[in-house]
Chain A
Amino acid sequence: MEALELVRRRARSKRREVLVNVDEEPATSWQLIDACCRRQGYDVFPLAPGDTLLNGAEAVLDRGVEAIFFNAEVARDQAAAVVAHELGHLELHEGTLVCSLEDTDASTPDEPTPAGSQRVASYGVRERQELQANVYARELLLPRHEARRLFLDEELGASTIAARCQLPLDLVRQQLCESLLTPPPPAESTPPPAKSTPPPVISAPEAPANSEPNLPESATPELSLDPFQRAAAEHDGSPLLLEAGPGTGKTRTLIARILRLINSGVDPASILALTFSNKAAREITDRVADVLPHQAPTIWTGTLHAFGLELLRQHHHLVRLDDTIRIYDRSDAIALLEEALPALGLKHHQNLYEPALVLREMLVAISRAKDELVDAEAYQALAAQMRAQASTDKERQTADKALEVAKVYEMYQRTLDWRKAVDFGDLIMKSTRLLESHTAVRTAVRLRHRHVLVDEYQDVNRASARLLQQIAAEGRRLWVVGDSRQAIYRFRGASASNMVRFGDDFPGAERKVLGINYRSSGEIVDTVTRFAKTMRVSDQMLDLQLQSHHRATRRPDAPSYPPEIRILSDREQEVSAVAARIVELRDQQGVALADQAVLCRSNAQLNRLSLGLEARGLPVLHLGSLFERDEVRDMLSLLWLVSDARGGALMRIAAFPHYAIPLEDLRTYLSKIRELKLSTMDGLDQLDKIAGLSPDAVVGFERLNQELADAERTSTPWEILAHYLFDTSVYLRNLICHRSPRQPMQCVALYQFLNFVRQARPGGRGYPPTRLLDKVRRLVLLAEERDLRQIPATALHLDGVKLMTLHGSKGLEFEAVHIPAMTTSSLPSNFRPPRCPPPNGMVTGADGLEAADREALRESHHAEEECLFFVGLSRSKTHLHLYRSRKAGAVQRNPSRFLTALGLATPRVHADTVAPIDSPMTTEPDVLVAIDGLGLQSTPGRDLAAYERCPRRYFYSHLFGLPGTLRVGAFLKTHRAIYEVLDWLKAKPAGPFPELDEITTKLEKAWQRVGPAGHAFEYQYRSLADTIIANLVKAHDGLQLDPIEPLTVALPAGTVTVEPDLWIPLSQDRTLIRLLKTGRKGSFKADDTIYGLFEAGARLRYGLDGFDLEVLHLTDRRRTIVNMSVQRVINRIEKSQRLLFDMQAGAFPPKPDPMTCPRCPYFFVCPTIPRGTLTLEPSS
């Protein structure tokens, strides 16, 4: 059971005890508090602020005189929560505690959001205690079931509940959030644990211990260990590297080590337990506290990053930081850098349309450099050396790219230093440097943290290894555990070579091994061992020799379940087979859905499996990309609506069932408010001025106005959404009361999102909702929202098949594991060299190969893929099912080489004994938009091109005219100015190409009107624009221009016209038709449908030989000749015909793309279209 649920149980139990003696119903918070305190024999005293007994805090729990003192000036409702918080400490913890207002914020969520800088949360016992006291306070004052009842049954909003119960509003909101959006906890059948337990004894076992268990809630004081575990736990006198294969009780042994140290008289405060994930830190904290509740609080447990942060905070004056350290995640870093990018004059890393993409790759390279403790100066030196030694064009280009990264690194670090901020890499690098250069601090750390334990040592990168050397000195009391075969974070610089080097880093080190697997059946252990033999990393290790505890202890007649491979004809069949196997295991073997997991290599595969399993009626635990879920987009649209006067968000909001505003009315409303120059929110207030709305629409708009009446764009996103969901609208009630298989995950997704909104603190410009929306876009574009896909702890017990990536499965175990897509290119995935490879000399592998060496990188990639598969295999306890399809679409797929390594290339099961479960619908038909008047007599080619790129976006922008949202940055403004000049050029009558002066004057006017005039880096952007214009003039020097004549292609579905940018007569018989692009040629190919239309149009007019068609790239003045074969042109024409036909039929399906969608102006509303018909004016 989730640890905090035990806390809630105790709170509810106390409340029940106390309410028996309270006559009035419902009890106010103060009546409850009073009754609790009297029952405990405690008195509560309000004190004047600044009273000496408060010690500068808001509340004090004083066990010595059995009193709670609190600041009398805190508002009464807040005071109740503050006192309840102290009662939580009284119930749960020892000692006198002094709590600040932040500590006693009983509305603090249970979990920090796993995104951004909140990832480096401190998990010290102090923080856990405060969290527990907050959770206790909330549950005591307003139990979740009560909050839910008041909201759903009595239909009370949060404000009303808060007023009635005299509680802080945010506390009520948090309880509503948790009670409505997370699944109810498992039934209360076991009593809560006692507060303290006698100290444990580690005794020699009679029999081997059980498999990797959590300690039971009524924790026994003894940990029985097998001989391997005991030897490791009792090791003394030298550094120890414990190699712990999967399922061998690694965490148990680590806990036992801690207990043994404390039992032998070691001061718990001198123990430092370092983990590589917050989840692991939480688990260790909770498990030690179960057994040693008094001693556990002083053990420092957390990630190395959290430890680094604490070091930097404590000694901030030595590293030129403030004591409140701002941590920048990657999206923050990009926001810092993107508008300054032109100042660097990059050539190789340039993307004029989306600099964020280029910056992302460079920031990855910079992060990698920090993993190797290479600062900006050193990076520059290495890159310069590489350049000096380069002897071929390719080598020179690679070196030049590295030099550009060095430039960005230098600017980035300077910006961070100026802002006194750090990024994640700095948490390790700066703290390592601090300890390496300050003897006093290093010695102090070693004196305080005398016993160092490290979990997951295979995930250590070079920087972390150096930091550990500084902390642990010669390592006499250093104890580390890891498994090289589970090293799956090489992209973060982690390397199994650190395990190999342990003896060099800490001379005199010993190695021990855990030899008994408690998790898996004998068959699974055999499979894992067989695969391990084939792994590259095994070359540097002893053979994996695991004894299977299950094999040793199972009955002779017990059934065995060897791993199986299923081969299906295509992907749909593959999903059907997975579904069938899941159901069979549930129905015939009693394996609950919650005990089964589907593990995939990529998120795209997970999404496919998730949709497929849901379509076949199986509940799944899978959030997918949070910001692309409908219910989350509903919330993002609300924020957009509040912050943007033009109302584009209404496209989605109008379709909320309880507004149900028809499509045509929506267009009427938006055009009227534009005409009347009203903002969206003002328009809602003045509906009487908006003529032409249907009665249904008026009802819908009025309801929307009421529900958003108090929303202000200056409010925080949390305030806006919480008020909407918990006070004013029926959205949440409708979601909860409408039961469907997807509803539980929809609620969990909203919960995860609200948690994120509550804790995110995006910087940047604009109102708070706008800043959050910008942050969301960046997170999605940069794929930085991966961690938000994790199911929150409070929802893990939902009955559903768990879907996760192989990476995400690390540390977990399941009764049954299903691994689909066992094909080449999928698992192992293809090697993709980094866009910004490190300079030579920055990284050296264990074999001495330079990391810039492509082959070395490829080898490293394959080694990691093997480790990933090893992790996946070893998650299974009993059942392991692998799947592959012969085809993916029309493409043949070959079996993964991992199957050969397992001896499963030839399937054990030839004919499937389990009938696949097919989806009731093979494809979900897209909603067709009913449009009157879509008589497309003539369609501009650029419209068709826009439709081809994304039909839904085309509908929004071209047919509906929906205002979009997109922050217009300096790059986009520069383009707008350039395109104004190009438009002017296109409209010119026949004559010589204009001179540079004339064009520059036009640019200047455009610049002042739409360009980034006044921007901090205006000079650099203007230089870019000037270069483009100069290249334009150079390319046409001495040439004549003819007026532009559209080219026409008549198709059965209608006519398409395309307009070139320039029409240049070369001779009597030959015309140059030129298309202009502002960027570089790069890898551009003129192969799209639009170029086929240009070819066809030009050929129809001039025949095959009368024209040249080309694209000119203005940044580098390179040309792309367009010269398609006849067949190609025919294919493009046929494609155009189909596109036109679909357009006329009202088919506007969305075309999701991970790069394009986050940059789309309609990202937050897509793909919604309200019901109804849209009437268009007939086009000419």
Chain B
Amino acid sequence: MSQKNSSPALQDAFQDLLANGDPLDATILEATIHRYPQFTTELTEFAVEWVLQDQLPEGNSLEGNSLERETPEDSHLADTSAVPAALDRFRQQLDARDAASARRHAPPNPFESLSPAELLDVAATVGLDKILLAKLRDRRIVADTLPASLSQDLASALQVPAAVINAHLAAPASVPAGLSFKSTGHPEAGSKESFTDAVQRSSLDDEAKAGLLTRE
């Protein structure tokens, strides 16, 4: 994540955390959470990742990702110029790890705030079924393969600019909120597929499928 892509408030929270304590401890984290309660989970996960990466022996890393070690000169956390670097490093870890973390840095999801009924309205308007709708919501369709007209129709139904739809689809695949996982495994956000494949795998009838596939 570069500074320009991250949510400013979240970045402030991270900077606040790192600026207030070296080394990090539970009291500092609690205090930061108190100031930014909306980022409780993010701050906790960040803090845990931070200490685990920063203090493992050289060459060791979580999940096989190798990271460049900070030199002592640039490891001073109170120096704000080091914080974006730290945040960048954090982002790399999250990107490499799981889609749930990546989601935190992704553009807003235009589907997220809709109720099930509203989502179904959108699907009906645009001519999609629930499978396609879910795949679009979760960014499982390669953005470039979506017909422009469909993108336009979606934007219209969702009352957002088309660019938002494109940006949403261009972001990494995500897993919906409130996810629970079995403790021995990590969730695997499914890979993306082409629009054609997604239509073929939908529950639409042949006519509806053909209608979608001929769009441009």
CB contact list, B20-78 vs A, under 8 A: 23-27, 29-30, 33-34, 37, 40-41, 44, 47-48, 51-52, 54-56
Q: Which of A47, A440, A447 has the most CB of B within 10 A?
A: A447
- Contacts A51-B190, A55-B190, A267-B33 given; indicate if A67 touches B134 (C-beta within 8 A): yes
Tell me how many residue pairs across A and B have CB atoms closer than 8 Å: 138
> B201 near A447 (CB under 8 angstroms)?
no
Q: Which residues in B have their C-beta under 8 angstroms from that of A52? A: 135, 140, 173, 190-193
A948 within 8 A of B: no
Tell me the complex Cα distance, A310–B183, Å: 9
A448 within 8 A of B: yes
Tell me the complex Cα distance, A447–B25, Å: 6
Shortest Cβ distance from residue A497 to the other chain B in the assembled complex, whole angstroms? 28
A570 within 8 A of B: no
A53, A100, A323: the one within 8 Å of B134 (CB): A53
Shortest Cβ distance from residue A1035 to the other chain B in the assembled complex, whole angstroms? 61
A96, A126, A265, A477: the one within 8 Å of B182 (CB): A126
A714 within 8 A of B: no
- Contacts A67-B134, A443-B51 given; indicate if A53 touches B190 (C-beta within 8 A): yes
> A102 near B182 (CB under 8 angstroms)?
yes
Shortest Cβ distance from residue A315 to the other chain B in the assembled complex, whole angstroms? 9
> A96 near B178 (CB under 8 angstroms)?
yes
A95 within 8 A of B: yes
Tell me the complex Cα distance, A69–B203, Å: 12
Tell me the complex Cα distance, A313–B140, Å: 31
A446 within 8 A of B: yes
Tell me the complex Cα distance, A269–B43, Å: 12
> A477 near B190 (CB under 8 angstroms)?
no
Tell me the complex Cα distance, A95–B180, Å: 8
Tell me the complex Cα distance, A494–B99, Å: 44
Stretch in A57-65, A705-713, A746-754, A755-763 touching the partner: A57-65
> B190 near A45 (CB under 8 angstroms)?
no
Tell me the complex Cα distance, A448–B50, Å: 12
> B201 near A440 (CB under 8 angstroms)?
no
> B24 near A447 (CB under 8 angstroms)?
yes
Q: Which residues in B have their C-beta under 8 angstroms from that of A126? A: 180-183
A97 within 8 A of B: yes
A385 within 8 A of B: no
Q: Which of A65, A100, A443 has the most CB of B within 10 A?
A: A65
Shortest Cβ distance from residue A422 to the other chain B in the assembled complex, whole angstroms? 16
> B26 near A446 (CB under 8 angstroms)?
yes
A56 within 8 A of B: yes
> A96 near B176 (CB under 8 angstroms)?
yes
Q: Which residues in B have their C-beta under 8 angstroms from that of A64? A: 111, 116, 119, 134, 137, 176
CB contact list, A121-151 vs B, under 8 A: 122, 124, 126-127, 129-130
Tell me the complex Cα distance, A386–B170, Å: 71
Q: Which residues in A have their C-beta under 8 angstroms from that of B33? A: 267
B37, B130, B191: the one within 8 Å of A45 (CB): B130
Interface string of A253-294 (1 = CB under 8 A from B): 000000000000101011000000000000000000000000
> B191 near A440 (CB under 8 angstroms)?
no
Q: Which residues in A have their C-beta under 8 angstroms from that of B190? A: 51-56
> B188 near A53 (CB under 8 angstroms)?
no
Tell me the complex Cα distance, A103–B203, Å: 26
A1126 within 8 A of B: no
- Contacts A53-B135, A64-B134 given; indicate if A439 touches B29 (C-beta within 8 A): no
> A69 near B183 (CB under 8 angstroms)?
no
A43, A45, A443: the one within 8 Å of B55 (CB): A443
B2 within 8 A of A: no
CB-based nearest A residue for B185: A100
CB-based nearest A residue for B46: A447
Q: Which residues in A have their C-beta under 8 angstroms from that of B201? A: 47-48, 51
CB contact list, B194-213 vs A, under 8 A: 201, 203
CB contact list, A1130-1160 vs B, under 8 A: none
> A45 near B192 (CB under 8 angstroms)?
no
> B182 near A100 (CB under 8 angstroms)?
yes
B37, B119, B130, B180: the one within 8 Å of A129 (CB): B180
Shortest Cβ distance from residue A58 to the other chain B in the assembled complex, whole angstroms? 11
CB-based nearest A residue for B173: A52
> B48 near A65 (CB under 8 angstroms)?
no
Q: Which residues in B have their C-beta under 8 angstroms from that of A99? A: 182
Q: Which of B130, B177, B179 has the most CB of A within 10 A?
A: B130
Interface string of A970-1001 (1 = CB under 8 A from B): 00000000000000000000000000000000
Tell me the complex Cα distance, A267–B33, Å: 9
A65, A94, A100, A448: the one within 8 Å of B44 (CB): A448
> B182 near A103 (CB under 8 angstroms)?
yes
CB contact list, A423-468 vs B, under 8 A: 439-441, 443-444, 446-448, 450
Tell me the complex Cα distance, A54–B140, Å: 11
B5 within 8 A of A: no
> B40 near A267 (CB under 8 angstroms)?
yes
CB-based nearest A residue for B123: A65
> A67 near B193 (CB under 8 angstroms)?
no
> B187 near A55 (CB under 8 angstroms)?
yes
Q: Which residues in B have their C-beta under 8 angstroms from that of A477? A: 26
> A448 near B138 (CB under 8 angstroms)?
no
Q: Which of B27, B176, B177, B187 has the most CB of A within 10 A?
A: B176
- Contacts A69-B131, A447-B47, A473-B26 given; indicate if A441 touches B180 (C-beta within 8 A): no
CB-based nearest B residue for A270: B44
Q: Which residues in B have their C-beta under 8 angstroms from that of A265? A: 34, 37
Interface string of B121-140 (1 = CB under 8 A from A): 00100000011011101101
Q: Which residues in B have their C-beta under 8 angstroms from that of A63? A: 116
CB contact list, B163-183 vs A, under 8 A: 173, 175-183
Q: Which residues in A have their C-beta under 8 angstroms from that of B54? A: 440
> B188 near A55 (CB under 8 angstroms)?
yes
Tell me the complex Cα distance, A96–B189, Å: 13
Shortest Cβ distance from residue A588 to the other chain B in the assembled complex, whole angstroms? 53
A324 within 8 A of B: yes
Shortest Cβ distance from residue B188 to the other chain A in the assembled complex, whole angstroms? 4
> B29 near A450 (CB under 8 angstroms)?
yes
B184 within 8 A of A: yes
A43, A96, A323, A444: the one within 8 Å of B177 (CB): A96
Q: Which residues in B have their C-beta under 8 angstroms from that of A855? A: none
Q: Which residues in B have their C-beta under 8 angstroms from that of A127? A: 183
Tell me the complex Cα distance, A400–B186, Å: 50
> A447 near B130 (CB under 8 angstroms)?
no
Shortest Cβ distance from residue A1166 to the other chain B in the assembled complex, whole angstroms? 42
Tell me the complex Cα distance, A63–B116, Å: 7
Shortest Cβ distance from residue B136 to the other chain A in the assembled complex, whole angstroms? 10
B120 within 8 A of A: yes
A1092 within 8 A of B: no
> B23 near A443 (CB under 8 angstroms)?
yes
> A447 near B180 (CB under 8 angstroms)?
no
A587 within 8 A of B: no
- Contacts A66-B130, A67-B134 given; indicate if A95 touches B34 (C-beta within 8 A): no
Q: Which residues in A have their C-beta under 8 angstroms from that of B193? A: 52
> A66 near B116 (CB under 8 angstroms)?
yes
> B52 near A440 (CB under 8 angstroms)?
yes
> Could you list 13 A-B pairs, sorted by A, with CB under 8 Å?
A47-B201, A56-B187, A56-B188, A64-B111, A65-B133, A67-B130, A95-B177, A97-B180, A265-B34, A310-B183, A313-B183, A313-B184, A447-B25
Task: Given A47-B131, A130-B182, output 18 extra A-B contacts at Cβ < 8 Å.
Answer: A45-B131, A52-B190, A53-B134, A54-B190, A55-B175, A65-B116, A65-B134, A66-B130, A67-B130, A69-B134, A95-B179, A95-B180, A96-B175, A96-B176, A269-B40, A440-B52, A441-B52, A477-B26
Q: Which 5 A-B pairs have the closest CB atoms?
A: A95-B178, A52-B190, A440-B55, A56-B188, A52-B140
